[in-house]
């Protein structure tokens, strides 16, 4: 039951389809656990997403046993942001979660937004 629910979510997940190559994307980086690709609707001159290859719905679903993966996502987001030119002026690193967090794709992702400044607090 549990397994089949996970499978149904993965089969309908846009980001799982990107991982499998069933939907095209502009890939930036890939390893065994992590994929980074440009956002299809960029909100800044540099806007990419870093995702786990395993289907994890959102940050609330992370377990302590996922510490390495969570660290990989964050450090990879940082490394790629520097490679893409955000090192000097910085960037906005965002993880939206569920309804109140404004999450629209139910597969955990870190947004990296650079190339312009952002205000605080968010609207």
Binding site for ligand 5GP (CB under 6 A): 14, 23, 25, 37-41, 96, 102-105
CB of 23 to ligand 5GP, least distance (A): 5
Calpha distance 121→41 (Å, rounded): 22
Nearer to ligand 5GP, 45 or 102 (CB): 102
User: What are the catalytic residues?
Assistant: 109
* From the list Zn ion, ligand 5GP, none, partner contacted by residue 107 (C-beta under 5 to 8 A by kind): Zn ion
* From the list ligand 5GP, Zn ion, none, partner contacted by residue 39 (C-beta under 5 to 8 A by kind): ligand 5GP
Dihedral Cα 99, 74, 27, 44, nearest 10 deg: 60
CB 7 within 8 A of CB 13: no
Nearer to Zn ion, 16 or 35 (CB): 16
Query: What does the block give as tokens for 10?
Result: 């993965």
The residue to which tokens 């939206």 are assigned: 96
Nearer to Zn ion, 13 or 74 (CB): 13
* From the list ligand 5GP, Zn ion, none, partner contacted by residue 102 (C-beta under 5 to 8 A by kind): ligand 5GP
Nearest to 12 by CA among 54, 46, 42, 55: 55
CB 76 within 8 A of CB 34: yes
């Amino acid at each position: 039951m549990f397994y089949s629910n996970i499978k149904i979510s993965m089969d309908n997940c846009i980001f799982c389809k990107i991982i499998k190559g069933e939907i095209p994307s502009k890939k930036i980086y890939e390893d065994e656990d992590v994929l980074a690709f440009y956002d299809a609707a960029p909100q800044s001159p540099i806007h990419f997403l870093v995702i786990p290859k395993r289907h994890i719905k959102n940050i609330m679903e992370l377990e302590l046993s996922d510490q390495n993966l969570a660290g990989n996502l964050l450090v990879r987001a940082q490394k790629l942001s520097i490679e893409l030119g955000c090192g000097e002026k910085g960037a906005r690193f965002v993880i939206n979660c569920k309804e109140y967090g404004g999450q629209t794709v139910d597969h955990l992702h870190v947004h990296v937004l650079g190339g312009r400044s952002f205000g605080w607090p968010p609207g």
